[in-house]
Structure 1
């Protein structure tokens, strides 16, 4: 059956204010259910998506079949490659956990210094970045928080430190899932977005260790360890820049490795610096009367699903974590190398995958039996949606005015495939028994029962609003902020992470909206305030700000707060911790907004935006 072309209408109700309110209803429903009713994210995402489908059909006159297929299209991308990547990353992590190797990894970095300030940098920031890249989903806050408490940091302070630390690495968390998501909903190249992230996040990575240590002690005590701050934050920032931008200098795209390799290099540099070059003149510790503070709290309602979910996650992550403060026999070099081996294999496979992805730019690779990827047109949707006249370039003709809708099944070069291969090979080399292998898969499937449906529903919602034109209606409204919008783009991403709990969720929710708003702002101010940027550069900068600004909302979302309290044995103190970090979150989001504005308007900072 040949379906009629659907033409987007930015003002379907004949009243711009009313149309804007209707276009925003799916997000408002999501907000109400997540924050007001405390629903779990998959159910809230599904409700928001159903709302979007109904409004696309009833208010925007989009055929119901088209709206439904748009939802399926988004969900499919949420499963492959994004869900597949998240699953594979957690599978590799659980392989090291069940084999006992992760305990060795944890011990190898846990006792490098007795100074609480240095421990915060080494564990809260560096090791937390490793955990964010390897597993994400709140694991850095839970595991690093428990480690710091075991080393004598007061539980409340440990939670605050880890929440602040788990920010600048988040864009590349879970092997770059937020960037993959943003690329999907905006149509911008993930490689280009990665470069833009690499021109913003290293600045934050130098700032965050200093900022989090300052929350622990005075300026004098903070600056007393400036060499450790410079080495820990600086080495991670340099590695973050290299891995995020390497493909701009002729190397294969290795940006999914940014957090993991950057964190490993940073920990190695800081460990060597502490061992051979420098130590604090006097080890600083929290006063003894503070160490036990905050260990207990008033009980909360056991019916709160966010608390229940967080406690389940933390119990899984710390299942082999008994004895965090116990004494062990000194580790041998061979043990440490064997424990880190799975992550080395993952890096190797991802580099090979990056080379294959470069080759795929000429088309799918012929592997003899099957091609390296398939592209399947989405029924009723592919080239059947014509963008609103206001959003179409003046020289666009024919199919250029219509939205493509293709299921792209990248089974070979999706980041999840090389990571899955590394996990399988690690199981063999670590000699896991069949029962242990089964336990790894069972544990991973159980852990993914919440994150993957959440990602799929968020992307389904996003694709419906994108194809129906609802995000375009909102984009035109947001464009009224004019030249101030580059600042507010980061704040919108911050709000998205607060709502959804993940940077990927925020990118799915607002990514397309950011691109449309960037286009509107550039069309209005491109010859004046934005004269140093092309349209494509403005789109890249503002869309990336959704992700880099969004990471600062990570410390205040419900999932992170609940995981922090569960990991540090403070369930019931969620409100106290939220109050302790909210202004840090707002301030750091404003820093990203100002950085985005500077890169948008002021030469030579505009040269940092990739072409």
Structure 2
């Protein structure tokens, strides 16, 4: 027995889109206005989505509940598994005292908080996004900033905003590859077009972060370093996306930013060292002693968990290795959902029964790479089995509330997708005619806000972007790329991302505060991509490959 999605259940696409948006309004209201804990906001939005799906979209109740449950399962594995293992590695370095050495080694490069944010949140976070994605960069880099002494809210917010630059090419380019698969457009063309949009954001993100931290005047004091980070990142992002493909832009760009900053800071220092107001200043004598204690062996040992982590996620991303590991995946076609829901035009090119395949890729999952890295790190740091288990148990206890929040927001994403609610909002935006290129990035922003993933947003709206572009007479390459470029600006306020960031920084229960910290930046950056896309559609069409 199949059920066909209805995209206009109210007989008016505007009214249908409004009904479909009820869960979005619920979660916005609870997070932004009521500042409710993530588990409350997520569960309320999920329940409202199930009710709208059943009573407005006439989705069979059993099917709706099964779709929601499948999303919740994905929230537990692989998403929560990544968060758990990433924070576990960080906690192990803290518990063994090694993070103090990590902190001092970063301070030996610069003890200016503005520059530390560029190194850790922007450059190192982008590297982790390129290698692993799916929450790893925010979990690791935000935890590191807290360990360095950053205010937890700033640490989480800065890492979420910094993650704007690399998201479209995250996880070895998987968002762009998926966009090509669902649209039939040459992947290299989509990669090139995204590489002619995102570098404009990548150049300004470092300055944006520092202004947010310390104000415009203070940002001008470190403008040379911001430009080194932004220009080196954006330059390699443009080159690699246009000439090498979607797999390597984040890896190469972040390495360029890290190396460029490290070398530049050897020959240039800001006139004043900036720290957070009220933060104690380390005396020159203490700083000198800490620097003297930093032998290469000590630094290497302290950084070894993060080095091993990096090596493991890179190995897990290499295609032959990934395919071999994926052979151990357990696949389960979800009864009552697999091939039950029919997608129709214009969301699908032809009537298509939606698959419902839950994969337990226990060996190829990024979280498993991190767990193996934690075992190797424990051996290097001298953490015995008993202590290893104790730290893991402590980490799990620390993350009990995110274990509720993350499955709820993934359940929300799945029920809105399977019921056709997300498609209704997308079709409403697609009905804007010649202004569609302006609203095209907003579709991507909406998709990432709802799903927490640029990959999922491209799978969800990629075909709609291509079909609508052809109908209104603009380049489908441009609009499909804009879906990904606009999507990156929604990542920082996605409930999934918020849950990961609060878990990593000890802000569980303060999800509303973090949402308010990032939401305006998300809107501004999204509007910038919207204006850019509109200009490229009609006035700068020479930029389209």
Q: TM-score, normalised by structure 1?
A: 0.70
User: Does 2:311 align with 1:348?
Assistant: yes
Distance in 1 of aligned mates of 2:403 and 2:176:
16
Distance 1:380 1:194, change over 3 A: farther
User: Does 2:361 align with 1:387?
Assistant: no
> Greater shift after overlay, 455-464 or 349-358?
349-358
Q: Partner of 1:61: helix, strand, or coil?
A: coil
Maintained 8 Å contact 2:341/2:353: yes
Q: Partner of 1:404: helix, strand, or coil?
A: coil
Distance 1:108 1:508, change over 3 A: same
Distance in 2 of aligned mates of 1:140 and 1:480:
40
Distance in 2 of aligned mates of 1:187 and 1:78:
24
Distance in 2 of aligned mates of 1:225 and 1:322:
20
Alignment deviations for residues 185-218 of structure 1 (CA, whole Å, 9 cap, x no partner): 99859x9898876664444232222344456466
Distance in 1 of aligned mates of 2:435 and 2:144:
39
Superposition pairs for residues 189-338 of structure 1, below 5 Å?
Answer: 200-213=197-210, 216=214, 226-237=223-234, 248=245, 258=250, 266-275=257-266, 278-280=267-269, 283-285=271-273, 327=287, 328-329=289-290, 330=292, 331-338=294-301
Of 522, 536, 542 in structure 1, the residue corresponding to residue 469 of structure 2 is 522
Distance in 2 of aligned mates of 1:582 and 1:420:
32
Maintained 8 Å contact 2:120/2:141: no
Report what 2:91 is aligned to.
Answer: 94
Report what 1:48 is aligned to.
Answer: 45
Distance in 2 of aligned mates of 1:57 and 1:443:
40
User: Does 2:529 align with 1:592?
Assistant: yes
Distance 1:424 1:6, change over 3 A: same
Maintained 8 Å contact 2:457/2:484: no
Shift of residue 58, structure 1, vs aligned partner: 2.5
Report what 1:74 is aligned to.
Answer: 71
Distance 1:142 1:381, change over 3 A: closer
Superposition pairs for residues 392-431 of structure 1, below 5 Å?
Answer: 392-393=348-349, 396=350, 401-431=352-382
Distance 1:23 1:228, change over 3 A: closer
Distance 1:229 1:162, change over 3 A: farther
Maintained 8 Å contact 2:309/2:370: yes
Report what 1:24 is aligned to.
Answer: 21
Q: Partner of 1:386: helix, strand, or coil?
A: strand
Q: Partner of 1:248: helix, strand, or coil?
A: coil
Report what 1:480 is aligned to.
Answer: 431
Maintained 8 Å contact 2:83/2:500: no
User: Does 2:480 align with 1:543?
Assistant: no
Q: Partner of 2:374: helix, strand, or coil?
A: helix
Distance in 1 of aligned mates of 2:242 and 2:437:
22
Superposition pairs for residues 435-446 of structure 1, below 5 Å?
Answer: 435-446=386-397
Superposition pairs for residues 174-185 of structure 1, below 5 Å?
Answer: none
- Structural RMSD (CA): 4.8
Report what 2:161 is aligned to.
Answer: 167
Q: Partner of 1:94: helix, strand, or coil?
A: helix
Structure number with larger C-alpha Rg: 1
User: Does 2:543 align with 1:605?
Assistant: yes
Q: Partner of 2:364: helix, strand, or coil?
A: coil
> Greater shift after overlay, 66-75 or 481-490?
481-490
Unmatched tracts of structure 1, length 5 or more: 150-154, 296-320
Superposition pairs for residues 501-580 of structure 1, below 5 Å?
Answer: 505=452, 514-515=461-462, 517-519=464-466, 521-525=468-472, 528-530=473-475, 533-534=476-477, 538-539=479-480, 541-551=481-491
Maintained 8 Å contact 1:166/1:554: no
Alignment deviations for residues 582-609 of structure 1 (CA, whole Å, 9 cap, x no partner): 76554433323334445556434322xx
Distance in 2 of aligned mates of 1:385 and 1:292:
53
Maintained 8 Å contact 2:444/2:482: no
Maintained 8 Å contact 2:316/2:322: no
Q: TM-score, normalised by structure 2?
A: 0.77
Q: Partner of 1:376: helix, strand, or coil?
A: strand
Alignment deviations for residues 316-372 of structure 1 (CA, whole Å, 9 cap, x no partner): xxxxx9989964432111111222222222232223322355763xxxx5x8xx942
Distance in 1 of aligned mates of 2:316 and 2:243:
15
Alignment deviations for residues 475-495 of structure 1 (CA, whole Å, 9 cap, x no partner): 221212334344434456667
Paired residue total = 526
Distance 1:228 1:418, change over 3 A: same
Distance 1:28 1:182, change over 3 A: farther
Q: Partner of 1:62: helix, strand, or coil?
A: coil
Alignment deviations for residues 72-126 of structure 1 (CA, whole Å, 9 cap, x no partner): 2222222222222222222222222222222222211124346676556446644
